[in-house]
Amino acid sequence: MTDTPITLAELDRYPLTSLTALASKPKKIAGLAEMGIESVFDLLTDYPRRYLDRTRQAAIGDLLPGDEAMVIASVSRISSRRTRGRPPKVLVTAEVTDGTGYLRISFFNQGWRERQLPVGTEAVFFGKVEIFGGRRQLSNPVVDLIGGDRTGRIVPLYAQSEKHRITTWEIGSWVEAALGKCQRRGLAEPLPAAVRSRFDLLDRTASLVGIHRPESMGEMSAARKRLVFDELLRVQLALVMRKKALEATTRGITHVGSGELVERFHQRLPFPLTAAQQRVVSEISRDLTGPHPMHRLLQGDVGAGKTVVAASALLTAVEGGHQGALMAPTEVLAEQHHSSLVAMLEGLSVPGDAEEGSLFEGLTSERPLRVALLTNRTPAAQRRKLAVELADGTVDLLVGTHALIEDTVTFRSLGVVVIDEQHRFGVEQRAALRSKGADGTTPDVLVMTATPIPRTAAMTVYGDLDVSVLDELPPGRTPIETRWVRTTGDDAETESVVWDHVRTQVAAGRQAYVVCPLVEESDKLEARSAEETLDRLAGGELSGLRLGLLHGRVSAVDKEATMAAFRRGELDVLVATTVIEVGVDVPNATVMVILDADRFGIAQLHQLRGRVGRGVHASTCWLVGGGNTPDGQARLEAMVRTTDGFELAEVDLDLRGEGTLMGERQKGRNDLKLASLRRDRVWVERAREVAFELVGEDPDLGHHPELRSEVAMFMGDEDADFLLKS
């Protein structure tokens, strides 16, 4: 029998049947499996969802109506009866006491509670105190059975399963058994002593005992700090190892050139670059002249000038004798990028030396820059011609959709790839575009997003990329006033002020968007919502104006025809769903009306607002909605307060949590059970700092085998193969 400390990988191999307390309970084991607990490791990382500090529990005798209270009490009486009415319902009524008073507990349609809470049972009851029949009562409270021997001051409460009749007390007893299983050998300690000392972290054994069986809330906090660091460090090690492995195993292009082409481009712009643009262009330029392929994320708020930065990177490739590609998620966005680049680069010539052996050998020649477009709408004959021109290098820059990654598209020498709204593309699509480099080289990749991401979230979701931020708007962008029209509550307002404003703006020659409510994830329902809104407005508030309609069920041809008509000013108001969220640029549109705005997330509201304020005229965004939930109200208040997308992203993270962000990471098992990108911002940065130190000295973690093993546990198989076998 081995005496070496137990690793997490070993705990993960122990089935629940290895615990005597569970060995003969197949139904409980099946229930735990449905809760995501299949091994001793899973059980030990099923952390308490909250703790009951018995020194702070509420006394029944002190409770007042309206209090949200947690009490520990014993059941002194319990009964059930069927109510009148059709269908009849089961009403279970209990009386509980803690020695300071009595409290009635009522459960509706939960007949099994009579079996769960026989007289004498001690339990935690959590709910809102109300008065019924002159007595204090909790209706359908949360119940945690804590067992008669849970007399410690701090009681851990675990997530229960009513479906499988698994109580918090049972889970606690099984966790106790799992901790006992680890006691003799102890747990392996993967963290170097210097790191533990630097951040005053407990060892792993003490932290697991402290999170499940704390003697005080201070001990619990210290245990949580260590376990949070472990979770975040595993994520950061995986990301930093991926970054270093890409650098070590791929051959980049060292772009050489005088920088003259980029300088000419900047001089031709109608406005100087902002300080943020200058900084980011320098960061990218350093990447492009280095030996490793660039893998950089460019974050910029709506209108921050990302296209100018992207064009600068693409022109660096062209000046060095290579080609550039820009991939966008939709045809509308690809066509818009193509139009923008053609307008920006019109008349720009590429400097080059005259061919060897010609009459002009040794003299500098110039040729016009070629920008082409490739989407699914590109006709076959044009595709064939384009294929030849790409292969011989006649086309310098290619803009397109995922059509760019088809096998038939071959570049003579692809040097820089820009991917817009990168979260809309899968890892495979990005890799396919990277693989189009010539002679085994990997092109430099710049991925862009107009959805600002909080700094710690960017480190965690996109931690294998270097991050550049455009946090400054170019001069000339007109500020957008945002107003919230509350449609419910004591201070409810009428929508008429919104439609009066739309009419005034249209009379002045401007245009407006009206975005319809997000019904649910259904094109059909949202189309109906948009059509009903159009009919209502055309027959009422906006009668006599020229209205257009755009939603997910409109064909691509009709969608483009409607957008073209709106761009030309042939429509006054565009009634749409969120299909206009990205890629619609009409400088003459000065009003954005968002109906039922409280049903949209902050990122979507901010993107929609960014569709106006793109010209010289003052613009307004109207948020029409009730704000019926605290979160809904907080979102709309934040939108009114600021137009800074990065400030809004932090608000969004605080309101929504990190679940959605972490969902974008394509990993194996759920790797953040305790850590929160909101609460633990500082620990994200510390974990990243340590990950760079460890991987810098030991790229494959060969000198830290326990850490290496843990990183592999929490990755998908492909990532583990790539990082640990490369």
Say if 50-157 and 480-642 have the same CATH topology: no
Predicted confidence (pLDDT) per residue in 578-612, tens digit: 777 655 678 899 999 999 898 888 888 998 998 89
With b meaning 16 or more CB within 10 Å and e meaning fewer, what string describes 589-607?
Answer: bbbbbbbbbbbbebbbbbb
Residue 437: phi and psi, rounded to 5, are -70, 155
The model's confidence at residue 429, banded by pLDDT at 50, 70 and 90, is low
Predicted confidence (pLDDT) per residue in 332-343, tens digit: 788 888 988 999
Better pLDDT: 367 or 25:
25
Q: CA 507 from chain center: how many Å?
A: 41
Residues in the chain: 726
∠ CA(254), CA(329), CA(347), 5° rounding?
60
Residues in Cβ contact with 179 at an 8 Å cutoff, skipping those fewer than 6 apart: 44, 208, 209, 212, 213
**pLDDT value at residue 678:** 77
The mean pLDDT value of the chain amounts to: 85
**pLDDT value at residue 341:** 93
Tokens of 638: 């934040």
Residue 262 C-beta-side C-alpha neighbours within 13 Å: 24
Of 262-276, 414-428, 503-517, the range with the lowest mean pLDDT is: 414-428
Better pLDDT: 278 or 356:
278
Looking at the DSSP bridge assignments, the partners of residue 353 are 364
Predicted confidence (pLDDT) per residue in 165-193, tens digit: 888 888 999 999 999 989 888 999 999 99
- pLDDT higher than 80, residue 147: no
- pLDDT higher than 70, residue 670: no
The model's confidence at residue 668, banded by pLDDT at 50, 70 and 90, is very low
Q: For residue 239, which of 664, 705, 542, 681 has the smallest C-alpha distance?
A: 664
Percent of the chain whose predicted confidence (pLDDT) is above 70: 88
Contact indicator for 285, 315 with CB cutoff of 8 Å: no
- For the chain, domain boundaries: 50-157, 189-249+672-702, 260-470, 480-642
The model's confidence at residue 521, banded by pLDDT at 50, 70 and 90, is low
* Residue type for position 707: L
Tokens of 483: 């107003």
Q: For residue 44, which of 160, 180, 235, 215 has the smallest C-alpha distance?
A: 180
CA distances from 524 to 518, 530, 574, 594 (A): 11, 10, 19, 19
Cα dihedral 315, 318, 322, 328 in deg (nearest 10) = 40
Helix (H, G, I), strand (E, B) or coil at 469: strand
CATH of 50-157, one of 2.30.29.30, 2.60.40.10, 3.30.70.20, 2.40.50.140: 2.40.50.140
Contact indicator for 439, 411 with CB cutoff of 8 Å: no
- pLDDT higher than 90, residue 224: yes
> Cβ-count burial of 133 within 10 angstroms (0-12 exposed, 13-18 middle, 19+ buried)?
exposed
**pLDDT value at residue 582:** 59
Cα dihedral 342, 348, 351, 352 in deg (nearest 10) = 40
CA distances from 58 to 141, 177, 297, 690 (A): 15, 31, 51, 43
Give CA–CA dist 571/589, Å, rounded. Answer: 11
Q: Domain 260-470 class?
A: alpha beta
The model's confidence at residue 422, banded by pLDDT at 50, 70 and 90, is low
**Number of other CB atoms surrounding residue 224 within 10 Å:** 20
Tokens of 258: 């005088």
**pLDDT value at residue 490:** 62
- pLDDT higher than 70, residue 62: yes
What is the dotted CATH code of the domain comprising 480-642? Answer: 3.40.50.300
SS3 content of the chain, % helix, strand, coil (to 5): 40, 20, 40
- pLDDT higher than 90, residue 74: yes
